[in-house]
Amino acid sequence: MTTNTREHQFIEDMRQKLGKRLVILAHHYMSDAVARHADYTGDSLELSRRIPDLDAEYIVFCGVFFMAETAAILAKPGQKVFIPEMNSRCVMSDMAPAWLAERVLDTLAEGGLSVTPLTYVNSSAAVKALVGSRGGSVCTSANAKTMLTWALAKGPHTLFLPDFRLGFNAADWIGLPKEDRHIVDVREHGRAVNLDKARRAKLLLWPGQCVIHSRFKPETIRKARAESPGCLVVVHPECHPNTVALADACGSTSFIIKFVAEAPEGSVIYVGTEFNLVNRLADKYRGVKDVRPLLYSTCSNMEKVTEPNLAKLLADLDEAPTVQVDEALKDPAKLALTRMLEACAR
Ligand code: SF4
C-alpha cells in the first residue's frame, strides 16, 4: 500500500496547475509512488509511440535515461523533456557504448560483411544514431520478433545489440537455427571479432545482458513449480533462453500484464521480471489470483526515480536541466526509431 506523502499532494497540485502543459510518462518498472502520478504508463514501445502525438510543453519521463533520450529524439521542436534523476542509467545499455559499436561494425565491414544493425531500445541516442546511419533500426521486447525478421530480410547479416539474450529468444521465436547465430567478441576495441565465424552466421549478437533478468535461472522456475504444482510461469525475454524454455509464456511487460489478466481466477502465477511491476499486479489481483515474484529482483536504476525527486523537478521546471540529444544525432536516431514505428504499424 502506497501512502499519501507531502510530495504526493504537491505533485498532484502541480499537475492540476500545469494542466495540458505537462505530461508525465512512467515505465511499468516505476514504483507505485511514482507510477500513480503518470498520465500514461507503459513499456518502452507503448511510451515511445505516444511521444509524437503529445502537445505538452513539458514531458517528464519517469524511467531510465535512454527512455528520456528516446522521448527527446521523438519530441517536437520546443517541447522540453525531463527525467527526475539524470543518473538513472540502464546498465545493459551502457554495455554497448557507441564508439565500440562503431568499431565492431567497421571491423565487420572491412572483413567484407554486409551488416544491418538492430539495436534494442535499451541503448543510447548515439547508438541509435549509429544504427540509423547504417541502414538499421530499433526494437523493443514487444516487437523484437517483427524487427529481427525485418533486419534479417535486409541482407546477409544482422548485428543485434546490446542484449544477446533478447536476440537469442527472438531468434528462437522466428525459428532461426542455432548454427546461424554467433556472439561477437567485442574486446580489443572491436578488433577481436572472429570474421570467419561471423561470416558463417546470419545473426551476430552483442554480448550484453540485463543483470536484473539474469537472476531468473531455470532452477528458479523448477523451485516455483515444486512449491506450487499447477502454477503458471511467465517471464520477460531478457531472461536466459534456458529459463524462457521452462516458462509457460514469455513476453514484454505489456504481454506479462495481459497474461496475468487473462489467467483463470484462482491461479498461482509466478512472474519473472522487475519486482515493482510484479508487486503492482499482485495488489491488483489480490483475492482473485495469486501473483508472485519468481524471485525478488529490482532495478536499482529505475528505483533512483522517486516521488521526492519527481516533486523537486516539478517545483522548478523552468530552471531544471532538460534531456539533451546532440543535434547531429537526432536525425539518424529518429530515422532508426521511425523505421521501427513504421515496420510495426503494418
Ligand atoms: S531492468 Fe535491466 S534492462 Fe531494464 S533498465 Fe534495469 S538494467 Fe536496464
* DSSP 8-state class, residue 64: -
Same domain, 63 and 164: no
Question: CB count, 10 Å around CB of 59?
Answer: 26
Q: Ligand 1: which atom is nearest the Cα of residue 64?
A: 5
Q: Is 115 part of a structural domain of the chain? A: yes
CA distance readout (Å), 238 to 27, 92, 94, 286: 16, 10, 15, 27
Same domain, 36 and 140: no
Give dist(CA 81, CA 324) in Å, integer: 8
pLDDT tens for each residue of 303-330: 999 999 999 999 999 999 999 999 999 9
Q: Residue 44 has what pLDDT?
A: 82
Which amino acid residue places its CA nearest to atom 6 of ligand 1?
299
Q: Assign 3-class secondary structure to 141-197.
A: CCCHHHHHHHHHHHCCEEEEECEHHHHHHHHHHCCCCHHHEEECCCCHHHCCCCHHH
H-state helical runs in the chain? 6-18, 32-35, 44-50, 65-74, 91-94, 98-110, 125-133, 144-154, 164-173, 195-200, 218-227, 241-246, 253-262, 275-284, 307-315, 327-345
- Residues of the domain holding 43: 6-89+303-315
Same domain, 193 and 219: no
122 lines ligand 1 (CB under 6 A): yes
Model confidence at 123, pLDDT cuts 50, 70, 90, reads very high
| 131 lies in the same domain as 272 | no
* Per-residue model confidence as pLDDT tens digits over 186-225: 999 999 999 999 999 999 999 999 999 999 999 999 999 9
Query: Same structural domain for residues 246 and 200?
Result: no
Q: For residue 324, tell me if it sits in a domain.
A: no
Q: What's residue 1's pLDDT?
A: 59
pLDDT digits (tens, 9 = 90+) for 22-54: 999 999 999 999 999 999 999 887 898 899 999
Nearest residue CA, atom 3 of ligand 1? 210
pLDDT of 345 reads 80
**For the chain, percent of residues with pLDDT exceeding 70:** 99
256 Cβ closer than 6 Å to some ligand 1 atom: no
**Quick check: 250 pLDDT over 90?**
yes
Residue with cell 517483427: 146
Number of domains in the chain: 3
Please say if the pLDDT value at position 94 is more than 80.
yes
For a pLDDT cut of 90, what percent of the chain falls above it? 94
**For the segment 145-190, what is each residue's pLDDT rounded down to a tens digit?**
999 999 999 999 999 999 999 999 999 999 999 999 999 999 999 9
Residues 228, 275, single domain; the answer is yes
In a domain, 1, yes or no: no
Location of C-alpha cell 523484437: 144
**Within a domain: residue 127?**
yes
* 190 lies in the same domain as 271: no
Instruction: Note whether 73 and 202 are same-domain residues.
Output: no
278 shares a domain with 193 = no
Q: Which atom of ligand 1 is nearest to the CA of 213?
A: 2
Buried b / exposed e over 138-172, threshold 16 CB at 10 Å, is bbbbbbbbbbbebbbeeeebbbbbbbbbbbbbbbb
Ligand 1 binding pocket includes 92 (Cβ within 6 Å): yes
147 and 72 both lie in a single domain = no
Rounded distance from Cα 212 to ligand 1 centre (Å): 7
Same domain, 174 and 254: no
